[in-house]
Chain A
Amino acid sequence: MDFFTEQDKARAKSSKLVFLFLLAVACITGCIFALLSFVGGGYKEITEMAWTMDFFLMVATGTTLVVGLASLFRIFFLSDGGKVVAESMGGKVIPPNSSDPLEQRILNVVEEMAIASGTPVPPVYLLNERGINAFAAGFSPSDAVVGITRGCAEKLNRDQLQGVIAHEFSHILNGDMRMNIRLSGVIFGIIFLARIGSIMIRGGDSPRDRRRDKDKGDGAFLLIGVGLLVIGLIGGFFGSLIRAAVSRQREFLADASAVQFTRNPEGISGALKRIGGFSAGSKIQASQAGDYSHFFFSSALSSIFATHPPLPVRIGRIEPNWSGTYPDTNKISEQVDSPSEFTSGFTGNLGVDPAAEKQASAAPPSSPDTQGVSRDSFTQSFKGPQRQQIRQAKSLLQQIPAGLLVLAKEPSQCRCILFTLLLDAKKTSIYEQQIKTISLQTDEDIANLTRQCFIKVQGLSYELKYILVEECAPAFSLFSSIQMKAFNDLINALILADDQIDLFEWSIQKMIENQIAHKTQHVTKPLHGRASIKSRLSDCEVFLGAIAHVGCNRDQAAKAFEKGFRSLDRTKPATLPLPEKCGIDSMNIALPRLSKMSPLGKRAFLEACSKVIEFDGVLSNAEIQIIRGLAAAISCPLGPVSVSQS
């Protein structure tokens, strides 16, 4: 599965759906028009106007307003990000520094998946439900959350858990959530009609109204109420049917992707079987569950509105020769082998953690400036995580000193890690000034800790540094908005301490910006735009040029650039822009324009980038930096790319 193509497909599908929904609203308008004209007898004006065009237009405006407003409101509420969805179902965030082995295992699996797919590690919520289920919610990878029921944590083994999480990540990467939120919004709007109807019926019943003159109008009022109720319910019914049909298709896709990500069909099919053999199944008790049914891993409700295909069908697609028997899940209780899940103790104390010390010295020394990279490992990272990447994610994590990983999970101390990445390694005067800024804006301890971390972080390769930033994401999301703002200001102050931004600082800034933007602002930027690659050629040139300049020597740069540019456009002459024309300033101007491209345009662009990068067969650190900053800013997650496999 190539998620760019999938996103384009989803887009096409959703426009078809919008059309279906418009049709539904039109039908509803017609029904209401007929209803009002038919029973309008109570009011003289209606009787006179009944069955006229003017009246129809009036009804149409009214209905559109009601449905439109209600759905806009709902979409606005839901688009507050995945957090709201998880919290309104009673989910409790699992602290990234949790000491419960069961919770730690969930966090580890989510982390491995996130690193393998190059998305920031999402916050994980635990729902206190017995059923085996999980969900992913949020508008884009950077504001997504993953939720898991207690039953899921207790009844599945690690492989099965990984399958379930992979399934949820497929939803995140495919942008299924955005489409679902829109559909839910419109359905809410239609069902809102039914609510108005029921208010009218109850209102007509109340004693206060009864005291009023009991003329024919009252009866008509009641009739209109009943009519609205029926129309709203029927509309909602069919709306939900359409939504469920789409949702079922997306589930098959997510199941298939889960197999592809983990290359382990037994994982996900085992999880599905355990749901089948469990008395509590996958049911969710929370009252809000119905609204969010499509977010889940398996049907949260058992009804004909099932947003998920039946279990046997799903298992059958993964394992064609399945015997049809379920294990007795009621008797299964997974024991977590706790030592293996804790990468280190909870000593949190950087200075005296012997395990961390040992691992730090065992970690490979600073990697050489260039690393060989096989041709397809880079292009493959567009296609979502592969099994091998997940294994690599694990081994990459092991290369980072355990002490640092523990720090990355502490909300107060993960700040130090991000600070250290921005400290000046060459000039002591700037370094001291930066430390001073940190201690002024936070406190002495944070500044000291930053000093200690700096020594350890310096030895890491660039790719590991980027992973550290991603590791910090869940702790990050626990900041209050005031803390976030103070933190952001400090980061910017550190970057500007030496009055210039280098490539690495630039890419770190882009990554942090991308994560912060979704947490401080409530406006949801669309993930992708509709602009074609042709209209953004000049912006693509900037990046292709930058990569060509940093990656190759002067003679090769022009050829590398030409190769990349030709894959985008065959007609225009490919002239390599001057180095001054593709500096950081130009990249900053080009980025927002590039992020408005359609998903397919972005893929073509990234492929062109990879052609330039692979021209000389080596992947330099500067190239990684540009690609990382670029990927973060145009919302196209890339997995770890520099892992040498030669």
Chain B
Amino acid sequence: MLVTVIVLAVIVLIAVLIIIGIYNKLVTFKNRFENAFSQIEVQLQRRYDLIPNLIETVKGYMAHEKETLEAVIEARNQAQSSLKNASQNPGDAGAIASLAGAEGLLGGALGRIFALSESYPDLKANQNMANLQEELSSTENKVAFSRQSFNDAVTVYNTYKQTFPPVIFASMFGHSQDAALLEFENDKIKDAPKVQF
């Protein structure tokens, strides 16, 4: 009888420890991807800060393209507020999706400016413009790298949540939602020429 009690107690103890372990792991992984998001935030914010400079530079040359410029500013403000929402809760799939959407719009609008600038030789020769363009594209790479790191962390979290036994306890501990990956629409891939036979 007593031995049974002790054996049972030990089993219960091990079970409790495992559950505490699962809880802690979930929290750790969640914290980790939330922290990974802060790196994306730094990079995106830097990009948003560059855009007013870009507009300022371009404005003098592209007086007729007012709409395009306004579209960029609009897209930038939109993206900035999405970023704010997403950084408050990087685990929220909706916030991440809206950030991805806003980023897609901004990317498209910026692409249009750079495409247009090809037809303004004076603007192309402007040193400031060249610097800004270079800088924007280098932030792009940094964003890509930190996004990869964030997505890896999210994947680790989601995978852990879906394995057994954590799958039983995850929703109980308030980890019911899978975290969303941050994917930006990549213009390069979308615009790749279709092969025609």
In the complex, the chain B residue whose C-beta lies closest to that of A480 is B152
CA of A58 to CA of B6, assembled, Å: 9
Q: Which residues of B contact A69 (CB under 8 A)?
A: 10, 13-14, 17
CA of A613 to CA of B46, assembled, Å: 48
Evaluate contact between A445 and B138: CB separation under 8 angstroms.
yes
From residue 124 to 167 of chain B, which have CB atoms closer than 8 A to chain A?
Answer: 131, 134-135, 137-139, 141-142, 144-146, 148-150, 152-153, 156
> Beta-carbon contacts of B6-41 to A below 8 Å, as 1s and 0s?
100110011001001100100110011011101100
Evaluate contact between B149 and A478: CB separation under 8 angstroms.
yes
Contact of A482 (CB < 8 Å), options: B28, B35, B38, B152:
B152
Evaluate contact between A92 and B17: CB separation under 8 angstroms.
no
CA of A35 to CA of B90, assembled, Å: 51
In the complex, the chain A residue whose C-beta lies closest to that of B28 is A84
The reply on B172 being an interface residue by CB < 8 A is no
The reply on A483 being an interface residue by CB < 8 A is yes
**Most chain B C-beta atoms within 10 Å of own C-beta, residue among A69, A80, A83, A410:** A410
What number of A-B contacts does a CB cutoff of 8 Å give?
Answer: 109
The reply on A51 being an interface residue by CB < 8 A is no
Residues of B in contact (CB 8 Å), total 41
Evaluate contact between A92 and B35: CB separation under 8 angstroms.
yes
Residues of A in contact (CB 8 Å), total 46
In the complex, the chain A residue whose C-beta lies closest to that of B135 is A349
User: In the complex, what's the smallest C-beta–C-beta distance from B149 to chain A, in angstroms?
Assistant: 4
The reply on B2 being an interface residue by CB < 8 A is yes
Contact of A411 (CB < 8 Å), options: B32, B35, B137, B145:
B145
User: In the complex, what's the smallest C-beta–C-beta distance from A459 to chain B, in angstroms?
Assistant: 23
The reply on B116 being an interface residue by CB < 8 A is no
Evaluate contact between B141 and A445: CB separation under 8 angstroms.
yes
Q: Which residues of B contact A196 (CB under 8 A)?
A: 9, 13
The reply on B168 being an interface residue by CB < 8 A is no
Interface of A with B (CB < 8 Å)? Answer: 43-46, 49, 55, 58, 61-62, 65-66, 69-70, 73, 77, 80, 83-84, 87-88, 92-93, 95, 97-99, 196, 346-349, 351-352, 410-413, 443, 445-446, 478-483
26 CB < 8 A contacts A-B: A45-B2, A58-B6, A61-B6, A62-B10, A66-B10, A70-B17, A73-B17, A87-B28, A87-B35, A88-B31, A92-B34, A93-B38, A95-B39, A196-B13, A348-B46, A348-B135, A348-B139, A349-B131, A412-B141, A412-B144, A445-B138, A480-B36, A480-B148, A480-B152, A482-B152, A483-B149
Q: What are the 9 tightest A-B residue pairs by CB atom distance, in nearest-first order?
A: A412-B145, A480-B152, A87-B31, A480-B149, A45-B1, A95-B42, A412-B142, A73-B17, A62-B6
A87-B28, A99-B42, A443-B141 are known contacts; what are 5 more A-B pairs with Cβ within 8 Å?
A: A44-B1, A65-B10, A66-B10, A411-B142, A411-B149
Interface of B with A (CB < 8 Å)? Answer: 1-3, 6, 9-10, 13-14, 17, 20-21, 24, 27-28, 31-32, 34-36, 38-39, 42, 45-46, 131, 134-135, 137-139, 141-142, 144-146, 148-150, 152-153, 156
